[in-house]
Amino acid sequence: MEGWDTTTKSTLTQIPLLTTKAGPRDGALWTQRLKEEYKALIAYTGMNKSNDNDWFRISAANPEGTRWTGKCWYVHNLLKYEFDLQFDIPVTYPATAPEIELPELDGKTHKMYRGGKICLTVHFKPLWAKNCPRFGIAHALCLGLAPWLAAEVPILVDSGMIKHKDDAATSAQ
Amino acid sequence: MEEELKGMVEDLQVLKGSLATLEKRVQNVTSLAKTTPTRRSKVKDMSSEVIDSNPYSRLMALQRMGIVENYEQIRDFSVAIVGVGGVGSVAAEMLTRCGIGRLLLYDYDTVELANMNRLFFRPEQVGMTKTDAAVHTLSEINPDVVLESYTMNITTVKGFETFTESLQNKKFSTSKHGTGVDLVLSCVDNYEARMAVNQACNELGQTWMESGVSEDAVSGHIQLLVPGETACFACAPPLVVASGVDERTLKREGVCAASLPTTMGVVAGLLVQNTLKYLLGFGQVSPYLGYNSLKDFFPTMEMKPNPQCSNSACLNRQKEYILAKPARDASAKAKMEAEASSQTEGPLHLDNEWNISVVDDSEIEGSTSNKSDALPEGLVRELPISDNYENKMIPVETNAVTDDLDYLRKQLDALNAD
Ligand SMILES: [Zn+2]
């Protein structure tokens, strides 16, 4: 597993794997998959909390579980930066990973595709493809979003592209 | 009550948002329409008369020269272009100038100044949806073409539904495989969207062509996909043209993707050339053609479908194709004999060994014949296939008590609440 730090790797191994290969157009099988997604997310969120590394909230935005919204945050220089987080489950899921979006950062960094989709490392898609259908939403967040935030938020803050909400409020007055 | 009100307020916000977007689109299109220069009127029949005022004289000359048997047939064809970016917009313009019957355009993006290093879109179109801007320009170039635009993302459940429905709309004509379009051209820039096009075409038995430009902008490819007959996009991990530069020295830090109007223009040209050959029945239609711009190297190959493909629609099309073999053999026999002299190499067996590493520079120049299970020189697999990833990971336990969706949803909500 080239391309990830040891913490990410060890966290990943503790997220439960999924078994049902089904996408949002697969009816009852998708419901089965959705249950597995929840179990993996519950385990991952719980694990983060007990390790004092809570860093996101995510929940289904529709009953079908095809759209997910939430928040994610990253602490840099003791300040917490929080962003809206959203993605759709693609019709070809889980063969293709969800494309994670941080709409507030759209246009603020080169490490992003149009519409605020985060640019994953060259290692992400091969690993996802290799592990289909065992990886789910929780794995995508762990392998995709967490390292992205760790790499990009400090750059965005230091270059002045984003401001801490307290700073922003002060300067606006 | 409170929840309901909150929901209604949210709905209202969403509606306001889409109303504003729609108003902006109306404004953009209206202001552009006002500046439109005089348009030529529609042409009833394609004339081969060589006069300045005939837009089709040079195209009809293809017929006189014996390249194309019946050029005017082009007016009966419908082509769907998915992705109206650097490749798709240029492909659309080429087909429009060729006098294609009907074009369906799909994209969810808007024109940005950052697109100006590519062809087709103009600075005054910044802010318009790519589909609206394209329809505006294309209808000016050739009012004979029937244009339809779909501003949406085909990878979402809803977008995908609209996409497949639009491909089946037979109001213009019915294609030979029973959909409403003769060919789908995939001009998207990501794997997710390609897989969505693949899914739709496998389900509909729709022939399509895939195109792509590498993220380093120096190589590209086109590929013909006939469900059941050739490999589908999911049959094997996607092929990419090795740029010949050492991947380890490629600086990817700081940017996701580069783009060049040249590479995109070349790929669009190759794609539309293959499209014209396929539709009008001349020359040889390439099953796969790669383009390595650094070495001006064009690898080609053929790919058979994978009987273990993970896509069930692909497997169904493969079965149908095998069942139709006797009829196909009979009708093709005479034709095969006539064309025996212009045979290409036999198809390659690609059932295994996906993990082929970057071809060594020294091997590219050689002209060694392809080993049966190896890729042609200059081509590599972009992704590995799913394997039994060796990792001591915990499988999800199945427990009847906790195996309820609402229960799980509430459990996550509870975790999210504190
Ligand atoms: Zn297939």
CB contact under 8 A, B256 and A15: no
Beta bridge partners of A72: A56, A83
Q: What average pLDDT does range B43-66 have in this prediction?
A: 85
| ipTM rounded to 2 decimals | 0.85
Whether the pLDDT of residue B146 is over 70: the answer is yes
- Comparison of pLDDT for B397 and A162, the residue scoring more: A162
| Contact residues, chain B, for A46 at CB < 8 Å | 415
Q: What average pLDDT does range B387-415 have in this prediction?
A: 68
CB-CB contact of A52 with A81 (8 Å): no
The Cα–Cα gap between B202 and B275 comes to 19
| Distance of CA A8 from the midpoint of ligand 1 (Å) | 33
CA atoms lying within 13 Å on the CB side of residue A50 = 7
CB-CB contact of B225 with B177 (8 Å): no
Give the minimum alpha-carbon distance from A167 to chain B in angstroms, rounded to a whole number: 26
Amino acid at B322: I
Q: What average pLDDT does range B338-342 have in this prediction?
A: 66
Express each pLDDT in B365-383 by its tens digit. Answer: 333 333 345 777 878 877 7
Q: What is the pLDDT of residue B249?
A: 55
- Comparison of pLDDT for B403 and A51, the residue scoring more: A51
| Distance of CA B34 from the midpoint of ligand 1 (Å) | 48
Q: What is the pLDDT of residue A1?
A: 67
Catalytic residues of B: 256
Q: Angle between the A28-50 and A6-14 helix axes, to the nearest 10 degrees?
A: 130
**Contact B254/A at CB under 8 A:** yes
CB-CB contact of B30 with B38 (8 Å): no
The confidence band for B32, taking pLDDT boundaries of 50, 70 and 90, is: confident
Q: What is the pLDDT of residue B387?
A: 59
Output the tens digit of pLDDT for each of chain A's 173 residues. Answer: 667 888 888 889 999 999 999 999 999 999 999 999 999 999 999 999 999 999 999 999 999 999 999 999 999 999 999 999 999 999 999 999 999 999 999 888 888 887 789 988 778 888 898 899 999 999 999 999 999 999 999 999 999 998 888 776 554 44
The lowest-confidence range among A106-120, B63-77, B345-359 is: B345-359
Instruction: Count the neighbouring beta carbons within 10 Å of the beta carbon of residue B101.
Output: 19
Cis bond upstream, residue B123 (ω within 30): no
Which positions ≥6 away from B104 have C-beta within 8 Å? B78, B79, B80, B81, B148, B149, B150, B166, B167, B181
Q: What average pLDDT does range B119-126 have in this prediction?
A: 95
Substitution target in B84, B130, B416 with the highest count of A β-carbons within 10 Å is B416
CA atoms lying within 13 Å on the CB side of residue A37 = 31
Q: What is the pLDDT of residue B161?
A: 97
The Cα–Cα gap between B61 and B48 comes to 7
Q: Where are the beta strands (DSSP E) in B266-323?
A: 288-292
The Cα–Cα gap between B167 and B182 comes to 9
Mean pLDDT in chain B? 84
The Cα–Cα gap between B330 and B40 comes to 48
- pTM equals 0.81
Highest mean pLDDT among A11-20, B266-275, B289-298: B266-275
Amino acid at B416: N
Amino acid at A170: T
Q: What is the pLDDT of residue B65?
A: 85
Give the Å distances, CA to CA, from A170 to A76, A83, A129: 19, 19, 46
Sign of CA dihedral A165, A166, A167, A173: positive
Whether the pLDDT of residue B293 is over 90: the answer is yes
Q: What average pLDDT does range B339-362 have in this prediction?
A: 44
Q: What average pLDDT does range B49-63 have in this prediction?
A: 85
Sign of CA dihedral A159, A161, A166, A167: positive
- Comparison of pLDDT for B10 and A46, the residue scoring more: A46
**Phi, psi of B39, rounded to the nearest 5 degrees:** -95, 150
CB contact under 8 A, A130 and B387: yes
Express each pLDDT in B186-216 by its tens digit. Answer: 999 888 999 999 999 999 999 999 999 998 8
Residues 47-106 of B with CB under 8 A from A: none
Chains A, B: CB pairs < 8 Å: 131
The Cα–Cα gap between B267 and B280 comes to 20
Q: Chain A residue closest to B199 (CA)?
A: A92
- Comparison of pLDDT for B400 and A58, the residue scoring more: A58
The Cα–Cα gap between B47 and B31 comes to 34
The confidence band for B331, taking pLDDT boundaries of 50, 70 and 90, is: confident
Express each pLDDT in B319-330 by its tens digit. Answer: 999 999 888 888
Q: What is the pLDDT of residue B38?
A: 65
Q: What is the pLDDT of residue B44?
A: 82
The confidence band for B156, taking pLDDT boundaries of 50, 70 and 90, is: very high
The percentage of chain B sitting over the pLDDT mark of 90, rounded to a whole number, equals 53
Enclosing H/E stretch for B186: strand B183-186
CB contact under 8 A, B196 and A91: yes
SS (H, E, C) B114-169: HHCCCCCCCHHHCCCEHHHHHHHHHHHHCCCCEEEEEECCCCCHHHHHHHHHHHHC
Q: What is the pLDDT of residue B35?
A: 64
Please tell me what DSSP assigns to residue B40: P
Q: What is the pLDDT of residue B255?
A: 60
Give the minimum alpha-carbon distance from A13 to chain B in angstroms, rounded to a whole number: 5
Structure tokens at A90: 């693609």
The confidence band for B181, taking pLDDT boundaries of 50, 70 and 90, is: very high
Whether the pLDDT of residue B346 is over 60: the answer is no
CB-CB contact of B39 with B55 (8 Å): no
| Distance of CA A98 from the midpoint of ligand 1 (Å) | 21
Q: Where are the beta strands (DSSP E) in A43-106?
A: 56-60, 67-76, 79-88
